[in-house]
Amino acid sequence: MRCDHCANDVPDGVFCTRCGADQGTTGELSRAKTRRHRYAAHPTEHVVQPSVFTTIFPHLGQQKIHEFRWAFAVGLAGILVLYVAGLVTAAILVAIFLVPVLYLIYLYEAQVYRDEPATVLGFTIGGGAVTGLVLTLIVRALYNPFPNVGNPLHNAGISVGALLFLGLTLPVLQEALKPLPALFLPKRSEFPETVDGLVFGIAAGLGFSVAESLVAISSALPALPAHVTPGNWIYDLATLAIFQPLLQSSATGMVVAAVWRYRRGRLARREAGGVAMAVIAHVAFALGTQLLNDVAIAQLFVLVWQAVVVGSLLIYVRYLLHHALLEEAAHMGYAETICPNCHMHIVASGFCPNCGMALTAAPAAVKRARKPVAAVKS
């Protein structure tokens, strides 16, 4: 059949395998083509949906996503158990490493690094961690606004200068430095897709987040006895385990993805907006957290604020990735393959004709197993 949107002859299906248009949509043509209701990396979701896993783990199919959600939930439950048992130090360490460890498993699962695991992991997670360690140590040596001992994540009553530094200067500085390791990745031409850039940026951001959090709490850890009566750490644990790593990783992911788009010759308003959004979200997160802590407002409001900022950032990442996938999946050639999302055996070019997933976001093993077919059977 002939696609109304890209005018190619394509096999029958709900989605056009060349341009990804949703043939099942009635009404406006633009709605079928931009298909905001069918997120290209995970077509059962809308683009505007603050879902964590289908955003920062874009290569995973339906079933794998569920496994990762479960693993994350189990990790959070483990942190809670350690906390209730009074093992606050252990709870803090698990909180810092939970998302980064899940991401390592994901990188292995999707083989995003293809044949270069050491180089890619070194330049993303490793490079991010080194950047985080060096920057955080230098900042603390030159300027330490935390004279009070005890819980170093709480600095009620800091000066306006310290507030501006922590809420404005430091986030901007971090957003400028965090993407660097991923941007200097050797053999970049082997990873041309924007979805690759996004994942590398996220990995670098997580490496940075681990190093930063470890330095931040290192002053408190030796002072804490092995068993502590659970105090007000529960909110900080939520920040450490969920919001801090998500903010640091998705902001850097977006910056690196925008640079990847630029290298493909497509820097438009959407990508420039992504970089601006990453910086604004980071400033809003840091400044808002400091201000709310400062006025000793209920800690729950700090978490609500962090969730709102991170949720908005994730939605912008999805918007950027969705359009990058729709544009970049167009010319893959016809091949027999199995869709990693709906598990149907398909003859497809860029998109699964059955569920509409962009096949550039398929795991490397699935891409390798593609068997090219010469003609379209229609």
Interface contacts to Zn ion, rule CB under 5 A: 3, 5-6, 16, 18-19, 21, 339, 341-342, 352, 354-355, 357
Least separation in angstroms between CB 197 and Zn ion:
24
Please say which residue, 44 or 151, places its beta carbon nearer to Zn ion: 44
Instruction: Output the smallest distance, CB 19 to Zn ion, in A.
Output: 3
Plot region of 62 (φ>0 → left; ψ -120 to 50 → alpha; else → beta): alpha
Closer residue to Zn ion (CB): 217 or 357: 357
CB of 280 to Zn ion, least distance (A): 35
* String of DSSP letters for 190-240: G--SHHHHHHHHHHHHHHHHHHHHHHHHHTTTTTS-SS----SHHHHHHII
The least CB distance from residue 191 to Zn ion, in Å, is 23
Kindly tell me which of 6 and 90 has the beta carbon lying closer to Zn ion: 6
d(CA 351, CA 336): 12
Q: Where are the alpha helices (DSSP H) in 111-193?
A: 117-121, 127-142, 160-164, 170-177, 180-183
Q: Least separation, in Å, of the C-beta of 47 and Zn ion?
A: 18
Smaller CB separation from Zn ion, 309 or 339: 339
* 8 in Cβ contact with 19 (< 8 Å): yes
Based on CB atoms, which residue is closest to Zn ion, 260 or 334?
334
Map residue 152 onto helix, strand or coil.
coil
Strand partners, 351: 358
Give the Cβ contact number of residue 159 at 10 Å: 9
- Count of alpha carbons within 13 Å of 230, Cβ hemisphere only? 16
Backbone φ and ψ for 22, nearest 5 degrees, come out as: -85, 100
CA 374, CA 53: separation in Å to the nearest integer?
A: 36
Least separation, in Å, of the C-beta of 8 and Zn ion?
6
Judged by CB, which is closer to Zn ion: 120, or 366?
366
Sheet holding 371-372, edge to edge: 345-348, 335-338, 371-372
Q: How far is the CB of 100 from Zn ion (least distance, A)?
A: 30
Question: Which lies closer to Zn ion via its Cβ, residue 134 or residue 365?
Answer: 365
